[in-house]
Amino acid sequence: MKIFLLVCFFAITSNAGAQNIDSLLPVRGFCISAPRPAELARFVTFINEELAPRKINTLVLRVDFNYQYISHPELRDPGALSKEDVMQLVQTCRQHGIRLIPQINLLGHQSWAGTTHNLLRVYPDFDETPEIKMPAKYEWPNKDSLYCKSYCPRHPQVHKIVFDLVDEICDVFQADAFHAGMDEVFYIGSDKCPRCKGRDKSVLFAEEVNKIEAHLKTKNRTLWIWGDRLIDGKETGIGMWEGSFNGTHRAIDLISKQVVICDWHYERPDKTAVYFAMKGFNVITSLWRNPGIAVQQKQDMQDFRAHSALEMKERFRGVMQTVWSDVTAFLDGFYQNSKDSDNGNNTPWASFTTIFPK
């Protein structure tokens, strides 16, 4: 009888522990590039041995063109993931109860430095600013204020193609949510775009968000985006990267409240999650490579949940570790516990292990 009661006690306490962490932080996320096929086995091991024991329950994989799309083979990267590769990821995540969410950058981030990505390379007509040529040697800042190219959200053919990709990648990932990126959109409503010139940039941005959200909703999928375009970067002092300088921030009052906001701040633990929650959005604070800031962001999220009205509490969904290198660079740094360039610990792996201990 004593043994039976002891077993019951442990069962109850361990169950209470699980409930407790879900109550403190319902979403415990990790976001990284999807692995290339050669990195797949190592990444699956990382999911099994590191993400799952650290109770990560949401994995956002930035796929973009790293998949052998059947709907648009012309947009595949060379050496992209196969369907069988993705099934390994799906099955591994399912074993651990990890929600797998694919990402394709929509609207912005259609180029990087001097490289045009597949969509605009194959379909140059979709370019919002075709008059701006890619430089031989990329530098920031530059005379064109070129950070990344965007597609024109009012081009009549663009959505047919990008929604084919979105549907296909969500099907193969068996996903009930899709992350569309939509961060750092500097080129929008160009004065030289015949379809967009003179239009309110916040309306253009909101129309694009709502169009993607409505498309996903027809298949019972939820849209996730980064939050920076919805923050007034000037008024808040948050700046032109983590906030908007081109007027898109007013879109916060024009987009569907069903959109999940990944609110990223890497230099300070800005409290903008409260802003999004007060506007009616589910919000996830996204952190990067400073463990001290990350600890504060995690604590803030728990405090927001503890000290808010019931209506707001459940909108504070949790925190997500973001990684902006590829899988190889991250895993090398993680397993070697590499220092940063100042021989310190401002690294994404140090942040990750601090926020999500085993």
CB-wise, 32 or 146, nearer to Zn ion? Answer: 146
Please report whether residue 196 would count as binding Zn ion according to CB under 5 A: yes
Q: Are 75 and 165 in contact (CB under 8 A)?
A: yes
CB of 201 to Zn ion, least distance (A): 11
- Of 150, 135, 158, 132, the closest CA to residue 75 belongs to 158
- Between CA 236 and CA 271 the distance in angstroms is 11
CA 137 to chain centre: 28
Q: Are 49 and 353 in contact (CB under 8 A)?
A: no
Please report whether residue 188 would count as binding Zn ion according to CB under 5 A: no
Q: Which residues, numbered 109-138, are part of the site for Zn ion (CB under 5 A)? A: 128
CB-wise, 32 or 193, nearer to Zn ion? Answer: 193
> Which residues have a Cβ under 8 Å from the Cβ of 326 and sit 6 or more positions away?
33, 36, 39
CB-wise, 42 or 154, nearer to Zn ion? Answer: 154
CB-wise, 208 or 242, nearer to Zn ion? Answer: 208
User: How are beta strands 111-112 and 283-287 bridged, if at all?
Assistant: unpaired
- Between CA 220 and CA 305 the distance in angstroms is 27
Residues facing residue 223 across a β-bridge:
178
CB of 128 to Zn ion, least distance (A): 5
Q: Are 101 and 177 in contact (CB under 8 A)?
A: yes
Please report whether residue 199 would count as binding Zn ion according to CB under 5 A: no
Please report whether residue 204 would count as binding Zn ion according to CB under 5 A: no
CB of 246 to Zn ion, least distance (A): 14
Binding Zn ion by CB under 5 A: which of 47, 120, 193, 216? 193
CB-wise, 43 or 205, nearer to Zn ion? Answer: 205
> Which residues have a Cβ under 8 Å from the Cβ of 224 and sit 6 or more positions away?
60, 101, 177, 178, 179, 180, 259, 260, 261, 262
Please report whether residue 185 would count as binding Zn ion according to CB under 5 A: no
CB-wise, 99 or 154, nearer to Zn ion? Answer: 154
CB of 21 to Zn ion, least distance (A): 45
CB-wise, 167 or 207, nearer to Zn ion? Answer: 207
CB of 151 to Zn ion, least distance (A): 8
Please report whether residue 54 would count as binding Zn ion according to CB under 5 A: no
Binding Zn ion by CB under 5 A: which of 42, 195, 215, 234? 195
Binding Zn ion by CB under 5 A: which of 86, 152, 231, 261? 152
Backbone angles phi, psi at 192, to 5 degrees: -100, 0
CB of 132 to Zn ion, least distance (A): 13
- Between CA 241 and CA 358 the distance in angstroms is 33
CB of 150 to Zn ion, least distance (A): 8
- Between CA 55 and CA 354 the distance in angstroms is 13
Please report whether residue 99 would count as binding Zn ion according to CB under 5 A: no
- Of 59, 49, 69, 58, the closest CA to residue 26 belongs to 58
CB-wise, 126 or 266, nearer to Zn ion? Answer: 126
Please report whether residue 211 would count as binding Zn ion according to CB under 5 A: no
* Number of residues engaging Zn ion in binding (CB under 5 A): 6
CB of 195 to Zn ion, least distance (A): 4
Q: Are 272 and 301 in contact (CB under 8 A)?
A: no
Q: Choose one: 72-80, 145-153, 301-309, 348-356; the region binding Zn ion (CB under 5 A).
A: 145-153
Half-sphere exposure at residue 29, Cβ-oriented, CA atoms within 13 angstroms: 29
- Between CA 62 and CA 328 the distance in angstroms is 14
Q: Choose one: 14-22, 43-51, 103-111, 150-158; the region binding Zn ion (CB under 5 A).
A: 150-158
CB of 12 to Zn ion, least distance (A): 59
- Give the interface with Zn ion as residue ranges (CB under 5 A): 128, 152, 154, 193, 195-196
